Structure 1
Amino acid sequence: MKLFLAFPAVFLLLFSGFRLSFSSRWLQLRSFTDAISCLLKNRGAEFSSLAALCAIVGGNLGVGNLSGTAVALRAGGPGFIVWMVFIIILTSIIKYATCYISIRTREERNGRTFGGPVVYSQHAFKTKWASLAVAIITMVCAVTVGNLVQVNSLSISMHLIGQSPLSAGIVMAIALFIVTNLGSLGRVVSRVVPAMTIFYIVLAGLTLGKFGSNIIPSLKLILESALSLSSLRDGAILALVAETFTIIQVGALRGIFATDIGLGLEGTVHSMVVSKNVVNSNFATQQSLVSIISPFIVALVTFITTLVLLTTGVWTDLSLESTNMCFAAFTSAFGKHYTEYALIALVFCFSLTTILTWFICSKEVLAYVSHNNRFMEKCWTALFFFIIPLGSLGGVSLLWDIADISISISIIINTLGILLLLNRYKKEMFSALSKDSSKE
């Protein structure tokens, strides 16, 4: 079932990535500096452009970017990262298109602004049932990808500090309850996400500094593995083809999962940003440009993580897997004790921000299809919080299988919706950016 759904999902993303990249003349690369300049617009809004970006980055930088990198390195070899970065660059334009169409089709209900796949899907498929389908699958993804999987990955490392796995789920539920009652979630993510990202990059940089002599050999190993040069030197053509296919497949899947491309989160979140000048025709372009920044941040973090695992040599230890491999890499540089506590705190923040982003998006889609039914929102909030501790008790493989299936279904629905609406918005979406495109 998982493989049956994964193939069309990946194919749709790659097809859409190629089509949109060439149609836009690789806008995700040539307009990256414009995206940076748009980042600080709408700063006075309740939910700003910066808050939207931080929410998406927080959603992307879950525990999966640590444990998932270790798993991909073991499954596809060091070369997976080359293909992963390529896939991220190629498909990041889908985030732009998703965000643009989401903002152009957003609706207002009872003083709240809604957008994203839950809204544009009914325009694409010409039925209101499409919105209900998107809402249901988004909520399933929120429970699996954005909740249970995050807590499960966090709980794996709790034994390092002598705590039970269940404690991770209980503390996470309490933390999320506190954070969601602080007031502006936009301000919370705008502070937590940059801090945790910078802290992780600095920690990884210090680790690479300690193993600096291994950086060049590791980069060579990455290139050789990406091109399967070992099989080529041995003259094993079939082995070369099989090895290359495996590496590309692992890189593609990791790039898609790490960035949440095709899941439509950016459309939902950026639609929450309210323009101070609603008649400004450049607003949709501004928000869409901001949305392409997050995949590049994820690519940077994943590439650095891969280098850390390679330079420290822990990736060859078959007794290590998932999150534990990453912990072993950092503790080999700084020792145990305080390092383990710092890493668990960091992983906790990664998990918390991912859960928070999915919680925000799931509440938005539920509010849209239920016409702002407060009772249903409260029931969903209670259920979401109650489920969190269960993630520390579930089986790893079962949780990931359910997550993969829900991701594939979401990608298929959302990407088809984008392709069906593309002709309607293609001209204005990819028109040359005006000189005022970064002004509000």
Structure 2
Amino acid sequence: MFETFKTILGLFVVLPFLAGVGLYLSIKLRWLQLHKLPLAFRLITRKSSGKESISSFGALSAVLGGNLGTGNISGIAVAIATGGPGSLFWMWIMALFGAVIKFAGCFLGLRFRQMSTRGGYVGGPMYYFHYGLNRPFLAKLFCVLTLITAVTVGGFVQINSITLPFFEFGVHPAILGLSMAVFVGYVILGGLKRFAKISMLIVPLMAVGYLLACFFIMIRNLDAVVPAIKLIVVSAFDFSSLLGGVAGYSIMSALKSGFERGLFATDSGVGLAPILHAPVTDRSPGMDIAISQGLISMISPIIVMIVCTLTGIVLLVTGVWQSTELQSTTMCVEAFRVGFDIFEAGHLVTVTLFFFAFTTILTWSYCADRAVEYLFGEERIKYFQYIFIALIPVGAFAHVNIVWSIADVSMSLMMALNVIGVVWLSPIVIKETRAFFYPKRSLPGEVIMQQEPKSAAICKAGDEKSVR
């Protein structure tokens, strides 16, 4: 019964809704995720000032840290195995729609952000539900779902996914879980600046290192690369590949888990990016900060899809994707062993998985902290952090099916709720974005909002007073 509910929710509600909203916003915003992408890359070089603020690059690194989870490696193998090589094509289509949803969410996150009592800005879906829509109940609900998803997807799932590969190294799950808890504790107890600094250090290094390894395998199998790309395009229009690709975009871990299992791969609509970009204070001359951060947020789905695509091509050129004996992570490990022609090369995947899991846990922890801050106040954050750290080792022994069952539903509901808020407030996004980029085409009387809304201390979750 529960599995049926998950399937219906994921494949027949969440997916069509996400695609429909993405298409609607793409048309209304004139496909800015395509022609404004070069501008987005130029905007990430600004530096921030202030103890409780981070730079645009720091925010982007934090988002990528959450997006580049273990599903980007193991999930891509499942997508290709179940939906065929054409699934990669449909992942890109979904990423295209997801990027514009992320733009809208980050725009709203910056537009309705508030000044916290500790100094610095906080924002995210809970704040545009509260201050944009005057719906504090929906803000509370989103925070509750964020906490549930942070513990399951952001904690249990990540550590559980790397337990088996490390066990082959001779590392006991308890040792792995405790080690991860220590590393995570060091970072999240150090505050926002330490979190951003670690993200800016680890995320680019692990992403570049992994991509270079993929390129090396592709060069060694250069004659198979073009046929692999042709296979992706041709098989994309096979009906079975279409279904597999749509589910594969969310980097699902198994066919039965459906679309919702891998939504965290690109955070398209889940609502993490608006939370992570809200503290940014750096401004670009002549740019509205809400628009600039919205543009920068569109970079992460592109980078994630590059990682996913190269992983898929490696699986294709090495031929391991056709193996019926290999599944998920083991398929990727074998692909690197075959690609490098060295048995130990598979260890590279295992190490990469560790860092992917580490940064994903950090990102979800930060977002959960903001949910606790909204619900209970800043003074309760430390208590939650200790609980979160203590639960990490539990994930190494947790029953993965139970964890995923909870995570599937909570993340799907979290995404659906956030996208509803984005659609509800989309007239503001559309009006202000059009007025900024196309002022001559604006309707008479339209005003371009170039200033931040007045800052205010965070109202308690039950306070109905809006600062807008």
Q: Could you tell me the TM-score, scaled by structure 1's length?
A: 0.90
Q: Does the CA-based 8 Å contact 1:88-1:256 persist in structure 2?
A: no
Q: Distance in 1 between matches of 2:55 and 2:120?
A: 15
Partner residue of 1:176 out of 184, 189, 193 = 184
Structure 2 residue identity aligned to 1:80: S
Q: Does the CA-based 8 Å contact 1:101-1:120 persist in structure 2?
A: yes
Segments of 5+ residues of structure 2 without an aligned counterpart are 252-261, 440-448, 450-468
Count how many residue pairs are aligned between Structure 1 and Structure 2.
421
Q: Does the CA-based 8 Å contact 2:70-2:353 persist in structure 1?
A: yes
Structure 2 residue identity aligned to 1:212: L
Give a deviation string over 1:190-241, Cα, whole Å, max 9, x none: 111111110000011111122222212222221222122xxxxxxxxxxxx4
In structure 2, the CA distance between the partners of 1:334 and 1:253, relative to structure 1 (3 Å rule), is closer
Structure 1 residue identity aligned to 2:230: K
Q: Distance in 2 between matches of 1:218 and 1:281?
A: 42
In structure 2, the CA distance between the partners of 1:289 and 1:249, relative to structure 1 (3 Å rule), is closer
Partner residue of 1:247 out of 232, 244, 248 = 244
Give a deviation string over 1:41-88, Cα, whole Å, max 9, x none: 234454110000000011100111001101111111111000011110
Partner of 2:365: 359
Q: Does the CA-based 8 Å contact 2:91-2:246 persist in structure 1?
A: no
Is 1:210 the counterpart of 2:220? The answer is yes
- 1:32-431 alignment, distance < 5 Å: 32-44=37-49, 46-110=53-117, 111-123=119-131, 125-182=133-190, 184-228=194-238, 241=239, 243-254=240-251, 256-275=263-282, 282-336=288-342, 338-372=344-378, 374=379, 376-431=380-435
Q: Does the CA-based 8 Å contact 2:275-2:367 persist in structure 1?
A: yes
Structure 2 residue identity aligned to 1:247: G
Structure 1 residue identity aligned to 2:311: T
Q: Does the CA-based 8 Å contact 1:42-1:49 persist in structure 2?
A: yes
Instruction: Look up the SS of the partner of 1:430 in the other structure.
Output: helix
Structure 1 residue identity aligned to 2:419: T
The 10-residue stretch of structure 1 (102-111 or 52-61) with the greater mean CA deviation from structure 2? 102-111
Q: Distance in 2 between matches of 1:185 and 1:74?
A: 36
In structure 2, the CA distance between the partners of 1:225 and 1:167, relative to structure 1 (3 Å rule), is farther
Structure 2 residue identity aligned to 1:272: P
* Offset of residue 430 of structure 1: 3.2
In structure 2, the CA distance between the partners of 1:186 and 1:201, relative to structure 1 (3 Å rule), is same
Q: Distance in 2 between matches of 1:319 and 1:26?
A: 42
Structure 1 residue identity aligned to 2:247: V
Q: Whose RCO is larger (CA < 8 A, sep 6+)?
A: 1
Partner of 1:232: none
Give a deviation string over 1:337-394, Cα, whole Å, max 9, x none: 643443322211111111101111110121122122x2x2122111111111122212
Q: Distance in 1 between matches of 2:18 and 2:102?
A: 11
* Offset of residue 258 of structure 1: 1.8
Instruction: Look up the SS of the partner of 1:81 in the other structure.
Output: helix
In structure 2, the CA distance between the partners of 1:91 and 1:363, relative to structure 1 (3 Å rule), is same
Q: Does the CA-based 8 Å contact 1:179-1:185 persist in structure 2?
A: yes
Q: RMSD over aligned Cα, in angstroms? A: 2.3
* Offset of residue 416 of structure 1: 0.4
In structure 2, the CA distance between the partners of 1:337 and 1:79, relative to structure 1 (3 Å rule), is closer
Q: Distance in 1 between matches of 2:337 and 2:173?
A: 21
% same residue: 33
Instruction: Look up the SS of the partner of 2:121 in the other structure.
Output: strand
Q: Does the CA-based 8 Å contact 1:97-1:429 persist in structure 2?
A: no
Q: Distance in 1 between matches of 2:349 and 2:250?
A: 26
Q: Does the CA-based 8 Å contact 2:88-2:245 persist in structure 1?
A: no
The 10-residue stretch of structure 1 (398-407 or 346-355) with the greater mean CA deviation from structure 2? 398-407
Structure 2 residue identity aligned to 1:179: V
Q: Distance in 1 between matches of 2:341 and 2:176?
A: 23
Instruction: Look up the SS of the partner of 1:424 in the other structure.
Output: helix
Partner of 1:11: 16
* Offset of residue 245 of structure 1: 4.6
The 10-residue stretch of structure 1 (411-420 or 327-336) with the greater mean CA deviation from structure 2? 327-336
* Offset of residue 130 of structure 1: 1.5
Segments of 5+ residues of structure 1 without an aligned counterpart are 229-240
Q: Distance in 1 between matches of 2:188 and 2:250?
A: 32
Q: Distance in 2 between matches of 1:188 and 1:133?
A: 30
The 10-residue stretch of structure 1 (387-396 or 307-316) with the greater mean CA deviation from structure 2? 387-396
Q: Does the CA-based 8 Å contact 2:48-2:281 persist in structure 1?
A: no
Q: Distance in 1 between matches of 2:63 and 2:264?
A: 13
The 10-residue stretch of structure 1 (131-140 or 327-336) with the greater mean CA deviation from structure 2? 327-336
Q: Does the CA-based 8 Å contact 1:16-1:91 persist in structure 2?
A: no
Q: Could you tell me the TM-score, scaled by structure 2's length?
A: 0.85
The 10-residue stretch of structure 1 (23-32 or 208-217) with the greater mean CA deviation from structure 2? 208-217
Q: Does the CA-based 8 Å contact 2:263-2:270 persist in structure 1?
A: no
Q: Distance in 2 between matches of 1:262 and 1:225?
A: 28
Structure 2 residue identity aligned to 1:34: L
Q: Does the CA-based 8 Å contact 1:124-1:420 persist in structure 2?
A: no
Q: Distance in 2 between matches of 1:33 and 1:130?
A: 35
* Offset of residue 280 of structure 1: 7.4
Q: Does the CA-based 8 Å contact 1:63-1:347 persist in structure 2?
A: yes
